[in-house]
A = this chain, B = another copy of it.
Amino acid sequence: MKKLLGILACTPLYIYAQQSADSTMIKKIADEILVHGTAYDLLHQLTKQIGGRLAGSPQFAKAVQWGKKTMQEAGADTVWLQQCMVPHWVRGGTDKVSIVAVNKQKQNKSLDATALGNSLGGPISGVTAEVLAVKDFAELEQKKDQVKGKIVYYDYAFNPTYIVPMQAYAESGVYRHSGPSRAAQYGAVAVLIRSLTESTDNNPHTGSMAYNDSFPKIPAAALGLKDADYLYQLASKRTVTVNIQTHGKQLPDTIGHNVIAELKGSEFPNEYITIGGHLDSWDVNEGAHDDGAGVVHTIEILRTLKALGYQPKHTIRFVLFANEENGLRGGKKYGEEAKARNENHIFALESDNGGFTPRGFSLALNSTQLQKVQGWLPLLKPYGCESLDYGGGGADVGPLYSLLHTPVGELKPDNQRYFDLHHARNDVFENVNKRELLLGAVNMTALIYLIDQHGL
């Protein structure tokens, strides 16, 4: 009998029946989310009632309580907080960057700027010095003898010919991350960068930087693109003196929390599937796309499975991570704890690319697993998923991948608008579209359902 079932299980008829059952279930998932989805309303709560929520801030603590309550209400079997220490950087005041002289003639032109995350402020009166504008590190090296006592401005621009802006971000990111110390090495007193964006507005974009402990920890800020263009053109022809007032402080690490909800598996309770987004955001905005979207995607999947009365075979964990932006401490803690407990994690999925129309998933799977998942593409295509490609998972599921070799993946929404608002003041609720957001949850829930049903 067992043998017969085995043969039956391999026949096209069986496959057809299974696909049809999967297709029916995924249609139910989509209808549930598109008609009754609460992700958009939850995002409104998170962005408008709590707002920006940098790790270590009182707003982040408020977001943790909100996340716990919300996942309890969404029907989790259990919800708990997983404590971890997080960096505690504070902006410390209002950032001000001004051109104060051109060719030694006094001026007073304010530039729209934001201190980089983790950067330290200078004296109250700011740092005042001449600007050395360079296109890139190569030019910095050529001009290293001119750097001492100057404010270095990097004019490294997003490459508009990359079709996926994430590629431009990956390329330019090193100027934000390492630019300050590379200039400090030659005696620069502060650094300005061109914001990591190709937006048509003048909003500056913050984001994480890291000092090299071997060199002075100088102030560092990003300029909006219009002011960046202005400064570069001016400084290419004239001697421009700028005053930079930033006030960043790195306080001692403080207590943060991952918020974890669980639906117990009926067949394989000790095999885990994790879904998550990060609860923290920068302080300059509401963190609506980054990563409010991932947070409410995660909760929406939980709500939907419960609303449909779905009994998962594997235990599913819904995780709101504590500290993606400036430390990744939440993701690390989750991975380390999973390893310490010797948990068997079969898959982890992240949403941290914004709440835009979903176009597919990037998956760090082996070739057998990938082939299996790609076989599901016809089931996901009606919901806008066009590709299931090999690629990285997200940052917060990275530690599961590196420590436990867990197969991981991330949602890939359309990427064109992301860097217009990423880490800038316009990453607000109003710039999230309800249907685009919900469709992300539809595709994620469908993929999780398929993996729970059929394994990897």
Which residues in A have some Cβ–Cβ distance to B below 8 Å? 30-31, 34-35, 40, 160-161, 163, 165, 198, 200, 357, 359, 382-384, 386-387, 414, 416-417, 420, 433-436, 439
Measured between beta carbons, the chain B residues less than 8 angstroms from A198 are 435
* Minimal Cβ-Cβ distance residue in B for A383: B163
Q: Which of B163, B165, B433, B435 contacts A382 (CB 8 A)?
A: B163
- Give the residues in chain B near A434, CB-CB below 8 Å: 200
Which residues of B have CB within 8 Å of A433?
416-417, 420
Residues B161 and A439 in contact, CB atoms below 8 Å apart: no
The distance in angstroms between the C-alpha atoms of A165 and B435, with both chains bound, is: 10
In-complex Cβ contact of A40 among B200, B417, B439 (8 A): B200
Contact B163 A384 (CB under 8 A): yes
Q: Which residues on B sit within 8 Å (CB–CB) of A160? A: 34-35, 435
Shortest beta-carbon distance, A357 to chain B, in Å?
A: 5
B383 and A386 within 8 A (CB)? no
List, in ascending order, chain B residues with CB within 8 A of A34's CB: 160-161
A414 — which chain B residues lie within 8 A by C-beta? Answer: 357, 414
A164's nearest neighbour on chain B, judged by CB, is B384
Identify the interface centre among A165, A384, A416: most chain B CB within 10 Å of its CB: A416
A417: B residues at CB distance < 8 A: 433, 435-436
Task: Tell me the complex Cα distance, A171–B382, Å.
Answer: 19
Minimum C-beta distance from A193 to chain B (A): 21
CA distance A357 to B163 in the complex (A): 11
Name A357's contact: one of B31, B35, B416, B435 (CB within 8 Å). Answer: B416
Q: In the assembled complex, how far is the CB of residue A152 from the closest CB belonging to chain B, in whole angstroms? A: 26
A161 & B416 in contact (Cβ 8 Å cutoff): no
A439, B416: Cα distance in complex, Å: 9
Are the C-beta atoms of B357 and A161 separated by less than 8 Å? no
- Provide a sorted-by-A list of 17 A–B residue pairs whose CB atoms are within 8 angstroms: A30-B163, A31-B161, A34-B161, A40-B200, A163-B382, A163-B384, A163-B439, A198-B435, A357-B416, A359-B386, A386-B386, A414-B414, A416-B433, A416-B435, A416-B439, A417-B435, A420-B433
Cα–Cα distance between A420 and B40 once the two chains are bound (Å): 15
- Bound-state Cα–Cα, A200 to B438, Å: 13
Determine the residue in chain B with the shortest Cβ distance to A382. B163
| Complex contacts, A40 vs chain B, CB 8 Å | 200
How far apart are A47's CB and chain B's nearest CB, in angstroms? 14
The answer to whether A30 and B436 have CB atoms under 8 Å apart is no
Residue A30 contacts which of B161, B165, B439 (CB distance < 8 angstroms)?
Answer: B161
CA–CA, A35 to B159, complex, Å? 9
Cβ distance A432 to chain B, nearest Cβ, rounded Å: 10
A438 (CB) vs chain B CBs: closest residue: B160
How far, in angstroms, from A163 to B439 measured CA to CA in the complex?
Answer: 8
Q: How far is the CB of A198 from chain B (nearest CB, A)?
A: 7
Nearest Cβ on chain B to A203's Cβ, whole angstroms? 14
Q: How far is the CA of A125 from the CA of B29 in the complex (A)?
A: 50
Rounded to whole angstroms, the CA-CA distance of A30 and B161 in the bound complex is: 7
Query: A30 contacts which chain B residues (CB < 8 A)?
Result: 161, 163
Instruction: For the complex, give the distance between the alpha carbons of A165 and B436 in Å.
Output: 11
Among the listed B35, B200, B420, which residue makes an inter-chain contact with A161, where contact means beta carbons less than 8 Å apart?
Answer: B35
